[in-house]
Structure 1
Amino acid sequence: MQNQRNLIMAVVLTGILLLGWDVAMRWFYPQPAQKPKVEAAASAEPANGEKPKRTREGGLQNAGDIALEKKDLAQELAAGHRIAIDAPGLKGSINLKGALVDDVTLARHREGVDRNSAPVRLFSPAGTPAQHFAQIGWVGEGVAAPDANTMWQADGAKLTPQTPVTLRWTNASGQTYSIRYAIDGDYMITATQGVANTGPAPVVVRPFALVNRTDKTASLDTWNVHSGPIGAFDGSVNFDNNYSTVAEAEGGAIPFKGTANWIGFTDIYWLSALIPDANAKAEAAFRSLGQGVYRADLIYPSVSIAPGKALSQTVRLFAGGKENAVLEKYEAAGVTNFSLSIDWGWFRWFEKPIFWLLDSIFKKVGNFGVAIILLTLIVRGVMFPIAQRQFASMAAMRALQPKMKAIQERYKDDKQKQQQEIMELYKREKVNPLAGCLPIFLQIPVFFALYKVLVLTIEMRHQPFALWIKDLSAPDPLHVLNLFGLLPFDPPSFLGIGVLAILLGITMWLQFKLQPAAMDPAQQQVFAFMPWIMMFVMAPFAAGLLIYWITSNLLTIAQQKYLYSRHPQLKAQADKDQVDIDRAVTREKKATSTRKPKAR
């Protein structure tokens, strides 16, 4: 009866786990809306006060917004008065009206898995549904300063790494404002803002720089990957704020004291950030402007410029993908902790080496799926000596079984004394009962590190493996229940079992079959269910993670067969234990059936 109750409880808990897992996955990782056609422009906007729907990668989700963005963007870019941006990392243009950097696409990253899909758009002009832009300017104190409607003059037609461009505007009282834009081969734009006073009297101006964006395009902010306002202040990266905390702050602003190293907004893969000069004394703050629009700004102290004098200062704008090597390069050049804009979390000391090893292997083999398999081989190879000790410990534990049974029988009415005697037996025989758990515990940080690498590193985004696996950072796209895409429906995530999930369940089942059987029949039932439970649980995870686990299972099976060949007595004992357990289960079933009351 006890075993039957355990079986029923296991089934109930399995059902709760599967349903709960589906709810959790839908909460943390909602599926992106299907890309609508242009004709969907009439789709209704979300109701007032409703939070915008967000997905893991971000971007507009409302069909009406997507259509309107396409229309508005075409009109804005067709209006002219723009300076083209043409660099290896960034493409787009600078708007001469307001000197706004408001048209930026990322040349190295595509919207979809298809290599012919459009490049990722990071910046869009003000007023468009996906508005996201940077502005460099001044606030004049008793003197005219340029604003968002000022039309600037440029000394060049295209901004490239070889050709900086300077914008100029002169007011009626003799002050000439200038912004010199320079760009590198990655994602950094350097803006040198200057004021030359040719007027008869001193003037006072206050420089500023800002990044403005809507939260409609924000990626999902989860417990393990931050999305939203971000910055480094006094050398420490701050992940404390999201869009809602800024909107709910007193006055709709969160100012920061101390030195601002950099400030901006992050999505899971993208970052827009302002970086002041190291000796600049700028006030930094996040601000809510209402209607889901936010601003990160640097406001400098007011400066007085005497007649015939000029002042200038430099601020850098990063607008691009969070590629670890690029961020580390900028960090080495003086941008404090810039690589930590990738939300590695508390265990970055372990995650970053795993990422470095995986990326290094990828650079040799050219395929991240193969790199994951080779990483698994390395991890299992390093832990092989530990596995050998594990099997030796298991052999010793098997040898102690008769003595342990004798102690359990002798002290069956005194559990405390029984445990003391068993511990003394372990100590006397120099056996560690936890030695068999060590390889599992050692794999946990590797597994978690690979999980984080797959979740948050842009290097893994849209990386193919082979056959139908086109994106290792996404779940297996082929589901058994819809006949691998032939039937026109998408099963819920907990039933979205793909080929990789099935292979995971089979390899785990084979691995458990080779392990010495648990002495308790109830534990055996749990182990019999576990592979198939894990098949459902792991199905929504990234394909790369399943490839790691399947490879690890196959290597464990091969390792177990090899070590059994080295310890034949352990295999023989395991077979004998399995026979004894099967007999015990059969006897208990017979005893249970004879105890059932007869029907009247």
Structure 2
Amino acid sequence: MEEKKFDVKTLVGFGLIMLLLIWMLYNQSSDAEAQRLEQEKKEQVESEKQQQLTENENDTPVANDSTATTPEVSAAEYKNALGAFAYSATLPSAKATEATEITNGLLTLKIANKGGYITSARLNNFEQIHEGSGKPVKLIHDNNANLNLQFQTKDNRILNTQDLHFEPVLSKDGDNQVLTMRLKAGAEQYLEYRYVVKPNEYMMDFSIRTQGLSNVVNTSKPIDLEWQLKGYRNAKSVTYENRYTELVYEYEDGKDDYLGQGSADAEIAEDVTYIAYKQHFFTSILLTDTPFKTADLKSENLVKDEEIDTTFTKNFVAKVPLAFKGGELSYNMNWYYGPSDYKILNSYDRNLDEVMPLGWGIFGWINRYIFIPLFGALSSFIPYGIAIIIFTILVRLVMSPITYKSYLSQAKMKVIRPEIAELNEKYKKDPMKKQQETMKLYNKAGVSPMAGCLPALMQIPVFYALFQFFPSYFDLRQKSFLWADDLSSYDSIAHLPFYIPFYGNHVSLFPILASLAIFFYMKMTTGDQSMAQPPQEGMPDMGKIMKVMIYISPVMMLIFFNNYASGLSLYYFISNLITIGIMFVIKNYIVKEDKVHAMIQEHKAKPKKQGKFQQRMQAMMEQAQEQQKNKQIKK
């Protein structure tokens, strides 16, 4: 897939892509029975929801003819169902249809009286980009999210805030808009949600506290907070978007982890400081100043068939306990509803950059400190498509010395191949002696079999970092180049009237160009690679394997990247073109066979002094050879 050589020395890198592809195929597979069970489950859930809504309407009546004419009966019903919190249900704000709307330029939020939580979160500057859409991105809309506190009262009632009515008060604090939502058990007894929305900010302050409820609520046990969200699809390919949709969390003073891409994943973490529901290019995050002692986290994959399941990607659920201190509850938190943009998330200095899948270890280091600043600088003054091309040229130029060293090693191995063949024939009945003499030849000629392998391995961190960089770079979203109308999504040039498994129902051009480039590159180098490595006895003929890989690798790229970001396919296309050019120059003007032969002969003429490692290896081989002779004599 990457610009490195596809020989035995670089199969490690190619194996990574094989594993990724196998994982995709496994994750997408489902049989008819599974779909039927899933559909029955959905129908059952919807039926239960409808039944619950009906029961709630019957149990907690709102303003209608009955309540207007018999208020004393309504109050009694409320008291019987809600105890002390019947006070809140009798206030004028107790209307399920009412909500308070707040906008700060970037965000438009709606907070409902019933439940007191955000029922709509719209990002004003972004649109959905799947076919036939163009609607604004809504992270929360139409009951896809819920925030609920479940608690026990002193009279042993179990109440859920999602079913109760809060009293809203909207005020101003400088330029900030402040909304307090109070669930009241009396005039000065309440549970309060406090939202502070700042101008042109995706992050808002959020606090939960109680006042005067120590005689109403059972404070001997924590209140259970549950936050649930089903991620809406916002991209053209629901499968591609779902691949980068995941639950990320920080725990135990700075550690971070995520739930995988399985059909249903769960984890219990301790001392959690934030929980992020990442939807590829957009993210909903709950942060807390006081770490949650434990968090029960769940992620359910809702995309079983991308032709059927086209609305939601994953269902996230987090359950955390909120502990009382001194008989009261007090938690200062934050909400973030906004882009999965590394620059924005990193600016809050809350370790939120870990939400971005930039890779672990050296891979993430390369992305954070090299690729993101470099590409950001290029794209600040030139179009994004041109920036990708220049970025690719710079990366390939920096990597060209590694390409040179790898090819030089192959050229040397190719020159001494006849001598190795002679040793193989001469000592074919004595493998130990053959290995010993081969090592001597390598040392004498100044050739190391690992010299070609190490440069190839050095390219793997760069390759993997780029593989993570392009799908995660938010600024590519809705940026066009040539026929690609969005560099963060696939570049469809034709829509198929049928669906091809694992490929899709469209044709992307950049993956085709990248596949052709990698085919010609492998065609150009495979002959030299097979000649550089003579077949070993008992080992498969890598020359034959490489000839097969010439055709398999482009096909895999074509299938695998048809639904990927066109920016990534553009990079691979340009990268392979540049690599072909670099290899052509090296092969025809720099590393010529006669020059390599002269180099080896010159090295052979020099006196050789074995290093300590070579001396130990030589001694071990001679000792093993001597033991083998003694065994034969005894026989």
Q: What interval of TM-score do these two structures reach, taking the shorter chain for normalisation?
A: 0.5 to 0.7
**Which of the numbers 258, 277, 280 marks the counterpart of 1:239?**
258
- Aligned positions of 1:400-411 closer than 5 A: 400-411=416-427
> Alpha-carbon deviations, 1:292-315, whole Å to 9, x = none?
88443341225337xxxxx85522
Residue 46 (structure 1) shift: 4.7
- Work out the CA distance in 2 between the residues paired with 1:432 and 1:404: 13
The equivalent position to 1:489 in structure 2, one of 493, 498, 510, is: 498
Q: How far does residue 355 in structure 1 lie from its aligned partner after superposition?
A: 4.4
Partner of 2:336: 318
The verdict on how the C-alpha distance between 1:318 and 1:561 changes in structure 2, with shifts beyond 3 A counting, is: same
Q: Which residue of 1 aligns with 2:40?
A: 48
Displacement of 1:190: 0.9
- Residue 471 of structure 1 aligns to a residue whose secondary structure is coil
Aligned with residue 134 of structure 1, among 136, 147, 150: 147
Which sits farther off after the overlay, 450-459 or 513-522?
Answer: 513-522
1:148 matches 2:162: yes
Whole-angstrom distance in 2 between the partners of 1:113 and 1:474: 9
Q: Provide the secondary structure at the position in 2 that maps to 1:488.
A: strand
In the superposition, relative to structure 1, how do residues 491 and 362 fare at CA in structure 2: closer, same or farther (>3 Å)?
farther
Report how far residue 565 of structure 1 moved: 4.2
| Worse overlay, 94-103 or 350-359 | 350-359
- Counterpart position of 1:557: 580
Separation of aligned partners in 1, 2:189 and 2:183: 8
For residue 329 of structure 1, report the CA deviation from its aligned partner.
1.9
Question: In the TM superposition, what whole-angstrom CA distance separates every residue of 1:536-565 from its partner, at most 9, and x where no partner exists?
Answer: 101132233332222222112221232234
Deviations 1:496-524 (A, max 9, x none): 76433442343234334443533379755
1:409-435 residue CA offsets vs partner (Å, 9 max, x unmatched): 433443432232122111112222332
- Which deviates the most, 531-540 or 160-169? 160-169
Aligned to 2:403: 387
Name the stretch that deviates more: 561-570 or 183-192: 561-570
Amino acid in structure 2 at the alignment position of 1:112: I
Rate the CA distance shift 1:371–1:532 in 2: closer, same or farther, 3 A. Answer: farther
The 1:457/1:289 distance shift into structure 2, 3 A limit, reads closer
Mapping of residues 76-95 of structure 1, within 5 Å: 81-95=98-112
- Confirm or deny that 1:338 pairs with 2:336: no
Counterparts of 2:103 and 2:369 in 1: how far apart (Å)? Answer: 34
Q: 1:28 is matched by which residue type in structure 2?
A: N
Q: Distance in 2 between matches of 1:170 and 1:494?
A: 56
Structure 1: distance between partners of 2:445 and 2:120: 73
The answer on whether the counterparts of 1:354 and 1:449 sit within 8 Å (CA) in structure 2 is no
Kindly indicate whether residue 288 of structure 2 is the aligned counterpart of residue 271 of structure 1. no
Q: 1:24 to 1:470 in 2, by over 3 A?
A: farther
2:177 is the alignment partner of 1:163: yes
Q: Which residue identity does 2:445 align to in structure 1? A: E
Deviates further, 212-221 or 400-409:
212-221
Tell me how far 1:476 sits from its aligned partner: 4.5
The answer to whether 1:506 aligns with 2:521 is no
Q: 2:116 matched to 1:102?
A: no
CA drift of 1:396 comes to 3.5
After superposition, the Cα gap between the structure-2 partners of 1:139 and 1:319, relative to the gap in structure 1 and judged at 3 Å, is farther
- CA displacement 1:131-157 (0-9 Å, x = unmatched): 213357986556999933444443438
Q: Which amino acid aligns with 2:201?
A: D
Query: What's the CA shift string for 1:206-256, capped at 9, x where partnerless?
Result: 58584532558598799985724744244322435878454xxxxxxx765
CA contact (8 A) 1:100 1:133 kept: yes
Report % sequence identity: 22
Q: Could you tell me which amino acid in structure 2 is paired with residue 286 of structure 1?
A: D
Letter in 1 for 2:510: L
SS at match of 1:304: coil
Contact 2:264–2:299 (CA<8 Å) still a contact in 1?
A: no
1:570-593 superposed Cα distances (whole Å, 9 cap, x missing partner):
28999xxxxxxxxxxxxxxxxxxx
The residue that corresponds to 1:584 in the other structure is: none
1:422 correspondence with 2:415: no
CA contact 1:369–1:465 (8 Å) conserved in 2:
yes
Query: Which amino acid in structure 1 is aligned with residue 40 of structure 2?
Result: N
1:187 partner letter: Y
Query: Residues 529 and 358 (structure 1 numbering): CA distance in 2 closer, same or farther, change over 3 Å?
Result: farther
2:567 maps to 544
Change (3 A) 1:373 1:441: farther
| Count of residue pairs brought into register by the alignment | 490
Q: 1:141 to 1:368 in 2, by over 3 A?
A: farther
Residues of 2 paired with 1:160 and 1:359: CA distance? 38
What is the Cα deviation at residue 458 of structure 1?
A: 4.0
Cα 1:415/1:500, change in 2 over 3 Å: farther
In structure 2, do the counterparts of structure 1 residues 431 and 260 end up closer, same or farther at CA, with 3 Å as the change threshold?
same
Which residue of structure 2 aligns with residue 450 of structure 1? 466
Is 1:262 the equivalent of 2:260? Answer: no
| Farther-moved stretch of structure 1 (262-271 vs 157-166) | 157-166
Deviation at 1:264, TM superposition (A): 5.2
Q: How far did 1:112 drift?
A: 1.0
Aligned pairs (5 A) from 1:303-382: 303-304=326-327, 313-330=331-348, 332=349, 335=350, 337-347=351-361, 348-353=364-369, 355-357=371-373, 359-382=375-398
3-state SS of paired residue (1:489): strand
TM-score of the pair, normalised by structure 2? 0.64
1:188 pairs with 2:185: no
Taking the aligned partners of 2:145 and 2:243, their CA distance within structure 1 comes to 25
Encode CA deviations 1:166-223: one digit per residue, 9 max, x unaligned: 34455336425544311233322212345455x9x97767585845325585987999
Structure 1 window deviating more from structure 2 (519-528 vs 433-442): it is 519-528
Amino acid at match of 1:503: L
State how far apart, in whole Å, the 2-side matches of 1:160 and 1:363 are: 36
1:413–1:312: structure 2 CA closer, same or farther, 3 Å change rule? closer
Distance in 2, matches of 1:104 and 1:474, equals 24
Matched AA of 1:82:
A
Indicate the SS of the match to 1:510.
helix
Asked if the contact 2:206–2:335 (Cα under 8 Å) also holds between the matched residues in 1, the reply is yes
RMSD: 4.7
The alpha-carbon distance between structure 1 residues 570 and 462, as it changes in their structure 2 partners (threshold 3 A), is farther
